[in-house]
Amino acid sequence: MVMFLFLVIALAVVVAAVTLAVVGGGESDGPLPEAAPERLQDPLPPDRPVHRGDIDSLRFPLAARGYRMADVDDALGRLGAELAERDARIADLESALAGAQAAAHVSMEKPAQGPGEQQ
> Residue 98's pLDDT is what?
94
Residue 69: half-sphere exposure toward Cβ, Cα within 13 Å: 2
- Residue range 79-103, pLDDT digits in tens: 888 999 999 999 999 999 999 999 9
pLDDT at 116 over 70: no
- Contact of 69 with 76, CB cutoff 8 Å: no
- Residue range 26-46, pLDDT digits in tens: 555 566 566 666 676 777 788
For residues 42 and 46, give the distance between their C-alpha atoms in angstroms, rounded to a whole number.
11
Q: Exposed e or buried b for every residue in 6-23, given b needs 16+ CB within 10 A?
A: eeeeeeeeeeeeeeeeee
- Contact of 79 with 72, CB cutoff 8 Å: no
Sign of the dihedral defined by the CA atoms of residues 73, 78, 79, 80, in that order: positive
For residues 6 and 10, give the distance between their C-alpha atoms in angstroms, rounded to a whole number.
6
> Residue 32's pLDDT is what?
58
pTM (2 d.p.): 0.48
Sequence-ordered strand ranges (E) for 1-119: 62-63, 66-67
Count of all residues that appear for the chain in the document: 119
